[in-house]
Structure 1
Amino acid sequence: MRWQGEASLLQEPDIGQPVESVERPERFLVRTLGKEFLLPAAEIEWIQAWGNYVNLRVRGHDYPLRSTMAAIERRIDPKRFVRIHRSYIANLDFVVEIEPLDSGDARAKLRDGQQIPVSRRYRDELRKLAVL
């Protein structure tokens, strides 16, 4: 797989007040194919740990971000995003079904049919937040 760009979190401006909260960014700056795009955080379907990066899944495309899951988890909206596995964070707006497995783990099915793992450690928290 070839990386064609890299996303970055918005930083504090050099001068003046930030346009939006840098602690809970509403958008991520993504550089890909020599262009820069602003991806709304609300459109992130899920986030996956991948070595020294995390992948932001947006509209069927992965955008790499050099960060840790813990750092991303601290900055995204906890009412919208929930940790479901040590390697995955899901956007609750995209989760349509939680399928329990015999092992005690589960699978989250998303609107587009994708399935991502839910470990038993995070399953109860997902259920609790999904009901709210």
Structure 2
Amino acid sequence: MPRNTLIAGGVLVVLGVISYVASAFASVTALIPAFLGVVLVICGLIARKKPMLGVHVALVVALLGLVGTFMNVLKIGEVFAGTAERPLAVVVSAITFVLLLIYIALGVRSFVAARRWKKADAISQA
């Protein structure tokens, strides 16, 4: 998971920078995915030394990001209808939402696998 955390963070940083450039540097809020990404990269670096701490904190940050982008995701239909007030923000929020959702799913899968491995190891040692 530390590697997945670093990758997810890096992708979000790139997405944030691209959206900031695409918005003609109009709003710092276009960098929100990059801010989330930087926090995830820091958590990923921490996770290399202390995996449980780094990944748990990263998953909490990802969950907060998921909640924060949800309202714009609901407006994705407006982009296709051509009625969205800020279509770039809606699209970037939707991409961020999907990336964070995938990251959280991988994290949950990793936790379940670790628990199963721990349980199987305990049984084999008994």
The structure with the largest helix share of the pair is 2
Where relative contact order (Cα < 8 A, 6+ residues apart) is larger, the structure is: 2
Q: TM-score, normalised by structure 2?
A: 0.24
Q: Which has the higher strand share?
A: 1
**Greater CA radius of gyration, 1 or 2?**
2
- Taking structure 1 as the reference length, the TM-score comes to 0.23
